[in-house]
Every structure is written in C-alpha cells, then in structure tokens.
Amino acid sequence: MAAAGRGMQVISDPAEARRAVRAAQATGQRVGLVPTMGALHAGHLALVAASQSECAVTAVTIFVNPSQFAPHEDFQRYPRPLEEDLAKLRAAGTGLVFVPDRSAIYPPGFSTYVEPPSVAAPLEGVIRPGHFRGVATIVLKLFQILPADRAYFGQKDYQQTLVVRRMATDFDLPIEIRVCDTVREPDGLALSSRNQYLSAAERQQATALYRSLERGAELLRSGQRSRQSIEHAMRNELEAAGINAIDYIAIANPETLAETPEVQLPVVLLIAARVGTTRLIDNRIVH
Ligand code: AMP
C-alpha cells in the first residue's frame, strides 16, 4: 500500500524489474508477486489484496505465456485488455506491474525448459500435454526476474498450485508460495478470464460445474465413499445442464492427485469440461 502514493511503476524490461524489486527489498520492504495473464477480474484482485495484506510492495505480472498453450488452443484469441487491467491495478494500489514483450521473455535462441514434477502428469497433464512445462518455465523465469519474497496463486488452478509448490521445493527457490481461495460469481461460477467467451446460454450452463462439485461434496459428507457413485452423480449434474464434453471428473488426493479405488478424506474434486468451445476448470477440497 505504501507504493500507492508513489504511483504505479509499469515496467517491461526484465533487468529494470529486478532492480525495482531489489531496491524495495534493500529498504526492508517485503515484496509479493502475483503472476497473471491479464484480463483481470476479482479473482486476480483478491490475490493482489492478499499480497498487499502481507507485503509492502506488490508486483503483478501480465504476460500471456505462449509456451503453455498448445497450437490448437486459444493463445491468439486470449483477451488482452491492457489499459483496463492497468486501471484496475492502479485503483488497487499496486506498486509495480511487469508487462514484458514476448521477445524479452523468449529471445531468439531461448531453449531451456523446466521438466515439471510428476504431479503435472495426470488430469490437465493428459489433456494439455506440455502445458505445465510452459507454466513451470514461465513461473521460474518470473521468480528470477522479480525475486519476490512471496508469490500468490489461486486455488482455481489447483494442479498448477501443486506444480509450483513442488518446483519451489525441488529447486530450493527462496520464495514462499501462497494459495488463495477461488473467487466465485454469486451463482457459484468460478471467475475466469475465459468466462467472457461464453454466450448468455453457455454462461447459464456453466454454473453446473459448481453444482457438480457441491453434489460430490454433499455425497462425501453424507458418508458416500464409492468413487463410481460420486463420479456418476457429478457427471449427471453436468449432463443435466447439457455439458457433455467432459475432459475429467476426478476425486483425488489433495497432495498427489492420486486416485485410489477407495475414496478417503480429505480429497479434492476436480472438473474440466467444455461449454460450447470454452474450456472451464474448477475444483473443491472436501475435508
Ligand atoms: P491467469 O491469469 O488465469 O493465469 O491466473 C492468474 C492467477 O490468478 C492464477 O494464480 C490463478 O489461479 C488465479 N485465479 C484465476 N481465477 C481465479 C479465481 N476465480 N479466484 C482466485 N484466483 C484466481
């Protein structure tokens, strides 16, 4: 918040970004990092607020990372409302925004990638091969460019939080990883930059992801432990809304994402499905 009075620095040069972070730390200020792909919504801003509550300076990055998109995915189409994003961050009192060009992150000759940990293999790893390689690579690079004290991620991208935590541990990265709750619309739909692709009818259908997670949680709370029964009920909830393109419904160990035949609490319920042409993911932990 201290940075609010000084205005917001918008930086595109990696070396300058690193100097800005180091300069804040040299005066004893803790720096929090919030990596994003922009098209900011209240979910992103909750991460900014979480950082601001713990850190004197909050650095937000906006970069639509090409290496985490497969060729057939929505990299070109991904929304990039930069001026609106900057206005939101300014209003939130953000200290620093890093908005690099693609060539600053992936200059000619760039060819080193992170081999992601084993928790990257199931679920998204099956449907989006190479996705977490791109995620781990950009996150590691951003941690290098903006050597913050803490980094804030959303539970919305549950598997991503496991990948980032594991990488931070395995590579001894001197940064604390914080995970913040998923911010939802009043009807339960998890906020996502991709929600703006949805037509009005699809937006209505999309609420079934939340209902499906609720249904799974309710069954677990009532003592149901049959994976098949829970999955079936969750699938019904999606199909009843006309969502048939389901990539996965998982009932998994929250740490490893392993799916043992016998369901044991705590578990994380995870869904990925396409509503029209828009791919949505959501999850919920049940203790
Ligand atoms: P993205 O811009 O989609 O790469 O997301 C940037 C960060 O915001 C990631 O850590 C996401 O998990 C997080 N995020 C996205 N949507 C939400 C949400 N609805 N609630 C909380 N965090 C979110």
Task: Give me the amino acid identity at 8.
Answer: M
Point out the residues of the chain with pLDDT beneath 70: 1-6
What is the C-alpha separation between 52 and 21, in angstroms, rounded?
Answer: 15
Q: Are strands 31-36 and 267-275 parallel, antiparallel or unpaired?
A: unpaired
Q: What's the first-to-final CA gap in the chain, in angstroms?
A: 35
Note the pLDDT of residue 6: 64
Q: Are 210 and 190 in contact (CB under 8 A)?
A: yes
Within 10 A of 176 (CB to CB), how many other CB atoms are there?
A: 14
Q: 159 CB less than 6 Å from ligand 1? A: no
For residue 36, the cross-strand partners are 62
Q: Are strands 150-154 and 267-275 parallel, antiparallel or unpaired?
A: unpaired
DSSP 8-state code for residue 286:
E
Note the pLDDT of residue 142: 98
For a mutational test of ligand 1's pocket, the pick from 44, 51, 64, 158, i.e. the residue with the most ligand atoms closer than 8 A to its C-beta, is 44
Percent of the chain scoring above 90 in pLDDT: 97
Q: Is 44 a catalytic residue?
A: yes
